[in-house]
Every structure is written in C-alpha cells, then in structure tokens.
Structure 1
C-alpha cells in the first residue's frame, strides 16, 4: 500500500528545529505578530475580479538574473533565473507562482516566500509562497526568526533572512502591512446588502400580496383555515398565472409592492470604491483599456510591485558578497505588447536604428518568432559617436581607402 505523504512534509521535510530559547522580538511601537484577515472579501465577485486583473498581469512578469560588471550588464542564464522564469518550486510554474504572490499581496498586504536551499550549501532549491493563519517574529540567539502557524495547526520556523517579505499599506506596524479589515469591510457589506435587496425585490414582485376581507361572520379557526387555503392556492410560486378567485364570502384587496432598488449609477459608484482601493478601475478589470489606460495602471501598480520583488528577491537570494559582485534580480514586462501597432512601429524603428533593440526583440513585440542571428544589433549609418561629432564637422576623421589604409580628410 502506497504511503500517504503530507504537503507540509514534502515542502519542509521531516527535520525539526533544534530546541532553542525563543522570545518575541522587541518592536519599536507595535506587536511582533501578524494574523491574516480571515474575512470573506475574496468571495465578493467585485473583489475577485479586481484582484484577478492585477494577478493576471503580474503573472506575465519575467525574472532576469543579471550581473553588473564595470558598469556593463551581463546576462547569466543561471539556475536561479531558470527557477524564477520556469518553475520556482515543484508545485508551481512561474505564472501561477507570481499570480499567487500578487493575489496574496492585495488580499492580506503581506507576502511571505520561503527560500529553500540545498542541504549543506547556499544554493537555492526553490521558492515557496507561504499562506498561514498567523506569523510571529522571534528572537533566537540574537537572530530574527519567523514562526508560521498554518491553518491545520502545524508550525514552522525559518530565519527571516530566508523569507522574502513583500508589504502593502505599510504604516503603523514596524514589520507588517496593515490589514484590509477596517477599510474594506464596510463597502463590501454595503454591496452585499444591496445585492440581497435586489434579490428580495425580485422575489417579492413575483407573488401576490394582499388582505383577505371576509364579508360573513366566521369563527377565528375557520377564518384562519380559509386564509391558509387561499394562500396555499394563490399566493405561492405554484400560481404561475398570478390570478386569484374568491366567492361572496370574502373580498381580496391587493397590497401594492414597491421595492426600492439601487440604480446602476449608485451600484457603479460602490464598485468603483472597491476598484480604487486596489488601485485599478473598471476598464482594467474588464480588459477594455486603451494604451494610455494600461500605461497608467502599469506604472502605478505593476511596476512598483515588480520593483519591490526585485529588491527583496535580490537581497534574500544572494549573500552580501554575491551582491557586491553585481548579482541582481530584475522583473521585466514587455509593455509594448499593449501599445497600438502605429506606436509599436515608431518605437521599433527608433530603437533598432540606434542599436538599442535587436531584430528578435522587435519581432517579439509583434508576437513573431525569432530568426537566426536575430540577436545582433544593427545601427543606421546616419548616427555617429557623440564624442566624434566635432571631428566630423572639422574634417579630422580618417576615412578608410579601398586598400584598407586611412588618411586625414
């Protein structure tokens, strides 16, 4: 019989932390604890669509491991770059990984990614996003350690230096981003009540409502029996025709139902408040944006998130010595994918002519496949080195003769 393995053991292994003296970290002006907001805000269709729009676009960011040497940027094609571009861990591809980080970033304003390193070395084996019910900062032998409490009751301790920590709404707490609870709950409750009111109004308008007035003297029990019989026959959903019939013993007086429902403008205003809270708008959520709409959204939401990831991934992935040798992680996005064709053509013409873009990079903008030797950069002969401009004007530049020599002009 095949042995069942828990996901917890598959990620963290079976080893336990050695028993050490643990005390809570002393913060300057806040608690060293963070507890995830367990509300149902993600169950709101408005919130979910808004968060999904952000996460879908963050998922398309491309990680690059570069090395800056003497002012020059060199691509490394390292194992770390492969992890971040293809499969950060054994359970997630890169798109799902960044989608998860972006979703957690907006929903709890704190993202925790554990860097799992290979035993006996500092080499990275994988990146694992951790979603826990609570996080506590501990002082173990003078080092900051993070204790995660998961929803199934299990705990795990990890050095803070091995935890990538992204934050949003970073204000009161020394280490953690603020919760969405107080800011988001009121508007979500209002939207929920509005939706329930619309549903109840629809239900109410589908049934007869009124007073059954008896013209003859009846005993209370007979009156109740007649009323229940009338309601069963005519005031239930089974009365598809919406017509009731009475004899001379009773007279039915209909009560007009006039439910008050919120109009589209007011509903749109409430949803707009949710969109604004998450830094977006209806056009982005519905993918109905223009080139300028996308540019504004990218610069205000996606680019800052990518910058924060780049700084945190770099600091936590590489040692101080490796960073000193120029190792760095960047997150790029091809913004030209969302530009109009006219804009793409103009930009490509300008960048290729000046040697700032290769042929394959230009093809990528139009979602075309690369060509052989397309990574070479070409440049128009209409441009010269700025430092040589005066020499050209004064006629001091040497021109090569057909025989390969040169002479002063």
Structure 2
C-alpha cells in the first residue's frame, strides 16, 4: 500500500503539517485562485433540493464496493481488508450506507466531496472520513501539494492532496474544483418567494378587513378608542365564530381580500427546473418510476457516480505497481432489483441455459435466499464450444491430427459408414 501516514486524530485540529516557510499558493493554468468557498446560500435548505439530492444519494449508497484484479482477460474477486472496510464500516462513526450517502450528498450540495484516507502507523488503511469544510485551499510546499480545510467553527485540517479521495461535479472553469451551485440560486429564490406568498395569502384571508363608518361626529381619540375596542372584541383569535355586532351608530363595510397565488402548473414548472438541474424527474423523487425510467436514471446519474468512485479509489488506494497487476476498486449495483418480474423471468430463461448464471445468482434476482449447491452452473446441451463447432456441423469436414472426421470414423468402423458420428451431431 501507500507510504506510512499519521492518524487522522493527530492531524485534526492540530498544527498544520505544511512547512510555513516553504508554503506557496498552488498556481492554476487559468489564473483561478485555488480556494473553494462553500456558497453562502445553502441549497440543501430547500425541501425540493433536499428531496432531489436524497433520491440520488439513497440509491448511490446501495452501490457495492469490490476489490478485484484483472489478469489475462479474467476478473478475480480479491476481497480483503479494503473491501471489508468499504462494505461494512468505513469508519467508527458510519456504516457503509451512511458513508456513501454522505459523500454523494456533499458532492451534490457543494459539487466537491473530499474523503480522508486514514493510514495507521504500519501504513495499513484504518478508515475513510468524509470532510465537510466551509473553505478549501490548495498550497504547495517542497513540491508537495497540500489541502487546507477551514471548518465552520474555525478549526483547521491540512494534509497531502494524495491522502484524499476528491470527487467533483460541474468540473469546468477551475483546474481542481467543481463549480458552485450559484446557477441554481435564482430558481431557489423564486421558490422561496412563492412559498412566502402562499403563506401570506393564507394568513390574510383568515382576517376580517373593513371600515367602520359612524353616523355621528366623533373626536379623533374617540374614533381610535372605538376602533381598538372593535379589534379587541371581534378580531381576536378567540372569536372563532367570525361574527361582529354593531349598533345603529356605526356601519361596518367589508373590504374584499382577494390574494393572488401561483397555480399548480406554474409551481410544477418551477420545481421541474430544480429536478432538471440534478438530471432527474419527479417520479424518481417520489419513487413512482417505471422500469425504463429507473434504467435511464441509473445510466445517467448513478452509473457516472459509480465510475467516478471506482477510478478515484483505485488511483488513491493502490500504488502504480499494484495497479499494474490489475488491482481495482469497483462500485457495482444490482440493476435487476428494479426490473419487472416479466423482465427477470425472461432474462433467466434466456441466459441461464448458456451457463452465465448460477442457481443462486438466479435466485438472488428474485430476492430468494441461497441454497446448498446453488453456486453450480447449469447449461443446456444445445450449445457447444465455438472452437469445436465445426466438429458438430453436418456436412462439413474438420481435420484432427491430420485426418478428417470421416476418415477417422472409417478407420474405427472398417466399413466407411458414419457409425456413431451422426448420433453425436448436436442440435444447432
């Protein structure tokens, strides 16, 4: 594995491990300042944004990390310590589901997500910790790139950039950071204004509004006194009957209150702008999607996250030599769990006879438990190894050891008949 590292807690909130005298700000080719600030207005505070991010994060958290090794066109499942960490408990505070959920939530909330790789004294990886900071800065010291985090409480953490899994979204202008969610703020402000308008309209429609006209001339102080008495008697919340009484000295004239509210179609159009920003739709958020809609969501949203995670974890966790031997961390998902029963039955019926699925793998597709001996593969006799297909073709000759099949059968039967050859011809 990688070189020996100090533990997380020896760095957290302690002296920054960046040599001050050698520290220089990392230079971007496009002259961007290498500092990322979390955008002032928190989009995650919006219920619509939170629902959209939750729909993505809860499905991405179902991805299964695996340590594999690709060798000679074969894929071997290695398993081991790293896979156990990522599939069970990446750190002492989070389950594997919570870990991936938080990482993806940070990615979509800030368009940047950092995960600290905690190495023990012996260089063995002991855990993975998502880092949620308000300011992130890149600095160089002695030709080494460092990341400096400043948290909301003023505490700081600094470590080498190679010690972090770094995921980005809207990766455009900056050489190192994803863009902020500033582009979404006008839509969120519109949603906030709409919500406030609806709340104010409901409040205003609940009040009695009007003018009291007195038939006699009253002094100003008497007018105010009578008005205050009327308000106290009839416009208090305790007057739940909504009835006001006046004598012949005064007449009440109601002022019609007709608050304007946005209609459902307009509100839906505003919400749809948020969903488009996250490349999803309302059916994904409300879990009312069809099989095809789920597949589109997986391919356009979840699968790119899985690829990004796989590439970054592989590069940061394995040395160049280990990568050369085919070691990878991949994140995969059982896409068939969202397929209809018709699709599942059709797939098992069509590909299981080819020896592609074991009995237990077929049972897993239908959410059934494993059985003893279920790891065996079954295959129909109607298929044949492609390299031997010519031997089973009627009317074609195939040489073996310098003689044709016909010649070989002549030698075996002695009478030139086909003998058992025809009986060995399989179905095609």
Partner of 1:349: 349
The alpha-carbon distance between structure 1 residues 18 and 228, as it changes in their structure 2 partners (threshold 3 A), is closer
Partner of 2:412: none
Residues 1:91 and 2:93 aligned together? yes
Report SS of the residue matched to 1:378: strand
Partner of 2:191: 191
Q: Is the 8 A contact 2:44 2:50 kept in 1?
A: yes
Partner of 2:243: 243
Residues 1:255 and 2:287 aligned together? no
Residue by residue, what CA displacement relative to the aligned partner does 1:61-96 show, whole Å, maximum 9, x if unpaired? 000100011121101121111111111111111000
Q: Is the 8 A contact 1:134 1:149 kept in 2?
A: yes
Equivalences, count: 395
Pairwise CA distance, 1:104: 0.7
Greater Cα offset, 13-22 or 234-243: 13-22
Separation in structure 1 between the aligned mates of residue 11 and residue 268 of structure 2, nearest angstrom: 44
Structure whose alpha-carbon radius of gyration is higher: 2
Q: Is the 8 A contact 1:194 1:262 kept in 2?
A: yes
Give the alignment of 1:41-80 within 5 angstroms: 41-80=43-82
Separation in structure 1 between the aligned mates of residue 234 and residue 63 of structure 2, nearest angstrom: 61
CA RMSD, 1 decimal: 2.1
Give the alignment of 1:104-123 within 5 angstroms: 104-121=106-123, 123=124
Residues 1:217 and 2:217 aligned together? yes
Give the alignment of 1:184-333 within 5 angstroms: 184-333=184-333
Separation in structure 2 between the aligned mates of residue 408 and residue 175 of structure 1, nearest angstrom: 70
Q: Is the 8 A contact 2:26 2:140 kept in 1?
A: yes
Structure 2: where are the runs of 5+ without partners? 1-7, 406-418, 422-428
Greater Cα offset, 243-252 or 326-335: 243-252
Report SS of the residue matched to 1:370: coil
Q: Is the 8 A contact 1:207 1:237 kept in 2?
A: no
The alpha-carbon distance between structure 1 residues 89 and 266, as it changes in their structure 2 partners (threshold 3 A), is same
Pairwise CA distance, 1:362: 1.3
Report SS of the residue matched to 2:29: coil
Partner of 2:129: 128
Partner of 1:158: 159
Give the alignment of 1:133-148 within 5 angstroms: 133-148=134-149
Q: Is the 8 A contact 1:65 1:329 kept in 2?
A: yes
Pairwise CA distance, 1:16: 5.8
Q: Is the 8 A contact 1:84 1:94 kept in 2?
A: yes
Q: Is the 8 A contact 1:207 1:242 kept in 2?
A: no
> What is the TM-score normalised by the length of structure 1?
0.92
Q: Is the 8 A contact 2:14 2:157 kept in 1?
A: no
> What is the TM-score normalised by the length of structure 2?
0.88
Pairwise CA distance, 1:339: 0.4
Separation in structure 2 between the aligned mates of residue 13 and residue 108 of structure 1, nearest angstrom: 22
Separation in structure 2 between the aligned mates of residue 14 and residue 391 of structure 1, nearest angstrom: 73
The alpha-carbon distance between structure 1 residues 188 and 18, as it changes in their structure 2 partners (threshold 3 A), is closer
Pairwise CA distance, 1:151: 1.6
Separation in structure 2 between the aligned mates of residue 117 and residue 63 of structure 1, nearest angstrom: 19
Pairwise CA distance, 1:37: 2.0
Partner of 1:389: 389
Residue by residue, what CA displacement relative to the aligned partner does 1:311-362 show, whole Å, maximum 9, x if unpaired? 0000011111110111001111000000000100111222221122221111
Pairwise CA distance, 1:15: 7.6
Q: Is the 8 A contact 2:18 2:158 kept in 1?
A: no
Q: Is the 8 A contact 1:207 1:236 kept in 2?
A: no
Pairwise CA distance, 1:248: 1.7
Structure 1: where are the runs of 5+ without partners? 1-7, 399-406
Separation in structure 2 between the aligned mates of residue 389 and residue 172 of structure 1, nearest angstrom: 56
Separation in structure 2 between the aligned mates of residue 336 and residue 53 of structure 1, nearest angstrom: 18
Report SS of the residue matched to 1:129: strand
Report SS of the residue matched to 1:136: strand
Report SS of the residue matched to 2:356: coil
